[in-house]
Amino acid sequence: MTDSIATEKSLGSRRGRDSKRERLVEGTRLVLHQQGVEGTTIADIAMASNVPPGNVYYHFKTKDELVQGAIEAHAAELRAFLASLDEHRTPKARLKAFLRMIATKGDLAARYGCPQGTLCSELDKRQDPLAHDAAKLMEIPIDWAERQFRDMGRRDARDLAVALIASYQGISLLTNTLRDPDLMAREARRLERWIDSL
């Protein structure tokens, strides 16, 4: 949802000042988004994080612990991003700012899909505690959007919030499947008109 995945360039520029644990979490986020959970190895994460493979186990005992760290980092970033939208005075303006952010993510979505959505989808197939933890990555923006719609006086705030996030996740999937980054911008504009009509 946010451009949380550090690009290889930005990850490289941060390597000197971040702890190995932080680099491993960021490397995990990057590789999971690009390769998926099942397609990712500890060696892939170590390479992306510029950490020797043997040092990974000092900070994380298993790949699942790395995935858990990535989920927690995504959740923290989502909360911080949504809190930053409070600078907009009205709930409608906050929702539209959220949509403008979506419109800028077309290239990333076309290559890999939504970082949080693809992670949730893949982990859900496992039906283990990580799947439950990943679900909060969908609950956080739904709860935030529900508050915005409720502040607009909408009694159907929860339904509208689910519809908004479902539209975003759906367009992310289509953007990725069809490799068409422009779909994100077009859907964001449509959703802005929808919000104006409420």
Q: Which domains does the chain have, with CATH numbers?
A: 8-197 (1.10.357.10)
SS (H, E, C) the chain: CCCCCCCHHHHHHHCCCCCHHHHHHHHHHHHHHHHCCCCCCHHHHHHHHCCCHHHHHHHCCCHHHHHHHHHHHHHHHHHHHHHHHHHCCCHHHHHHHHHHHHHCCHHHHHHHCCHHHHHHHHHHCCCCHHHHHHHHHHHHHHHHHHHHHHHCCCCCHHHHHHHHHHHHHHHHHHHHHHCCCHHHHHHHHHHHHHHHHC
> For the chain, what is the radius of gyration of the CA atoms?
17
Which tokens in the block code for residue 34? 């690009």
What pLDDT shows up at residue 33?
97
The confidence score (pLDDT) of residue 127 equals 84
Say if CB 4 and CB 73 are below 8 A apart.
Answer: yes
Looking at residue 64, its pLDDT comes to 97
Structure tokens at 194: 């929808």
CB atoms within 10 A of CB 117: 21
Query: For residue range 68-81, what is the model confidence (pLDDT) as tens digits?
Result: 999 999 999 999 99
CA distance linking residue 46 with residue 30, whole number of Å: 11
pLDDT, position 147: 98
Q: Along the 198 residues of the chain, how does pLDDT read in single tens digits?
A: 765 444 444 454 444 446 999 999 999 999 999 999 999 999 999 999 999 999 999 999 999 999 999 999 999 999 999 999 999 999 999 999 999 999 999 999 999 999 999 999 999 998 899 999 999 999 999 999 999 999 999 999 999 999 999 999 999 999 999 999 999 999 999 999 999 999
So what's the pLDDT on residue 59? Answer: 94
| Separation of alpha carbons 80 and 28, rounded Å | 20
Give the pLDDT of residue 100.
Answer: 96
